[in-house]
Amino acid sequence: MAQFSAETARTGEWKRQGNAFTDRISRDSTSGPGEGPDEQRRWPVEPGRYRLVVCLACPWAHRAVIVRRLLGLEDAISLAVVDPIRDESGWRFTLDPDDRDPVLGIRYLAEAYHGTDPGFEGRVTVPAIVDTRTGLVVTNDYPQITLDLSTEWTDHHKPDAPKLIPADRGEMDQLIEEIYQDVNNGVYRCGFATTQEAYETAYDALFARLDALENRLADRSYLLGDELSEVDVRLFTTLVRFDAVYHGHFKTNRQKLTEFPNLWAYARRLYQQPGFGDTVDFDHIKRHYYVTHDTINPTGIVPKGPDPSTWLT
């Protein structure tokens, strides 16, 4: 369930919780837990050591699933998938035998969070990378996770892995920030706003940015031109949920994705590439949003549509 801060109650504008665990896995590190400054320790790149915990409904986690697949890191970093429906204790491993992750041996991701920080009181989030040796959460810093998969795990990429991070990152980083503020997080700012003013401010920023992206894609295949990059992955995970969830559930209803000619063609082009559409689970997506956000959808009814076959046209 969504958590609303005191700031939300005062202004009506929803604020996203910060990331509690921001250690990094680095190819330059030979250390284990406890090495490096307390605020950001470095862990060694070591195939088979870490477990990426995701919910297939979550767009932030979906980024990591896509990048892991594109780079060919499936054998290097194992994957755990939680149930799309959270209960009062958070993300559950009920998709596994005995309702327990077979590698980590835990029933809830919260067990790893509290084992890492006994004083943790925030909301348990995905994606999270957990060290299978110690059971400690290495990171839940979703923006950094995918960047590090591209830059720190290069020795374990498949031979034809795409270069998702361009040599000159200036343009990409600016796009990433704009898309995060107005689109990736913007849909949540619409959906969880508690005043009309906060909702309309987020709504206007969202569609202004989508209009700009629609124009940008008029003469190019990807956001940076002819090559796939990290920013395309980050936009895709919001676009693929737009008509199924955000348009109705989050009231982002000026128009559907299918009514943006360039964005819709771009989203389908990505969907039909290995690593994108084959990592989308519309059942998990719809059940998570419509069932767990009971302040928005108290009946818990999950819509039947839209037809997912349109993504293959």
Taking a C-beta distance cutoff of 8 angstroms, is the pair 139, 128 a contact? yes
pLDDT digits (tens, 9 = 90+) for 62-76: 999 999 999 999 999
What's the predicted TM-score (pTM) here?
A: 0.94
- Expressed as residue numbers, the domain containing 259 is 170-280
CA distance 311 to 232: 17
Domain with residue 196: its CATH number is: 1.20.1050.10
Taking every pair of Cα atoms in the chain, the longest distance, rounded to a whole number of angstroms, is 52
Residues 210 and 262 in one domain: yes
Domain with residue 41: its CATH number is: 3.40.30.10
pLDDT of residue 287: 98
Residues 38 and 130 in one domain: yes
Residues 87 and 140 in one domain: yes
The values of phi and psi at residue 208, to 5°, are -65, -40
**Does residue 286 belong to any structural domain of this protein?**
no
Residues 147 and 244 in one domain: no
pLDDT digits (tens, 9 = 90+) for 177-224: 999 999 999 999 999 999 999 999 999 999 999 999 999 999 999 999
State the pLDDT confidence band at 3, using cuts at 50, 70 and 90: very low
Q: Which of 156, 182, 202 is the last residue of a domain?
A: 156
Helices and strands (DSSP H and E) totals, the chain: 11, 6
Q: Which residues are catalytic?
A: 58, 188
pLDDT digits (tens, 9 = 90+) for 253-293: 999 999 999 999 999 999 999 999 999 999 999 999 999 99
State the pLDDT confidence band at 167, using cuts at 50, 70 and 90: very high
**Does residue 306 belong to any structural domain of this protein?**
no
Is it true that the peptide bond before 306 is cis, omega within 30 degrees of 0? yes
**Does residue 138 belong to any structural domain of this protein?**
yes
Residues 181 and 79 in one domain: no
Q: Which helix (H) or strand (E) holds 52?
A: strand 50-54
**Does residue 1 belong to any structural domain of this protein?**
no
Residues 72 and 99 in one domain: yes
Residues 178 and 272 in one domain: yes
Residues 35 and 117 in one domain: yes
State the pLDDT confidence band at 11, using cuts at 50, 70 and 90: confident
**Does residue 80 belong to any structural domain of this protein?**
yes
Residues 150 and 175 in one domain: no
**Does residue 8 belong to any structural domain of this protein?**
no
Residues 146 and 209 in one domain: no
Residues 40 and 148 in one domain: yes
Q: How many domains does the chain have?
A: 2
**Does residue 253 belong to any structural domain of this protein?**
yes
Residues 148 and 28 in one domain: yes
**Does residue 258 belong to any structural domain of this protein?**
yes
